[in-house]
Amino acid sequence: MEVTQIILIAICAVFLVVIAIYCISLIVKNKKDSDKKVDGFEVIDGVRYTKDDKVVDDKGEAKLTLKKGDIMLERGKDYVVGKDLLAGKYTILTADENNDVVAIRIGGLVKDYKHFSAVVLTEGDIISPVSANVILR
């Protein structure tokens, strides 16, 4: 074998190793990304992004059962965004079927939120349901 053939074989071998490492890194990255995807939302850099915030299914029926990814907030308890829950957009669902409006303290201000209202929580916000338990979807 000539020197040029040996060099060409070595370059091809290095090229194949680089392609193999690239493919393995793509597989690992996709696996990590798929771990972050949970029923209806995706976590990107610690922020929760909702894919589908519809609370009514195709038949027009309300989807009020607790699903994976829903967060139940107890009345009178403080929750810190970034520590207890992720920053992002949430849909507020009242846990009590007799109440259409629930009072929630966010950042020190108490405001009434209707059932199916949307709220955006940022890092460091403190949220506390005042009048009833709340489900965040």
Query: pLDDT tens digit string along 3-59?
Result: 888 999 999 999 999 999 999 988 887 765 554 444 566 666 666 666 555 555 566
What is the mean pLDDT of the segment spanning 54-80?
70
pLDDT confidence of residue 126:
92
Range in 1-10, 88-97, 98-107, 109-118 with the lowest mean pLDDT: 88-97
pLDDT confidence of residue 35:
46
pLDDT confidence of residue 79:
92
And the tokens for 59? 């038949």
Residues 6+ apart with CB under 8 A from 121: 81, 85, 87, 88, 89, 90, 106, 127
17 vs 49: CA distance, rounded Å: 37
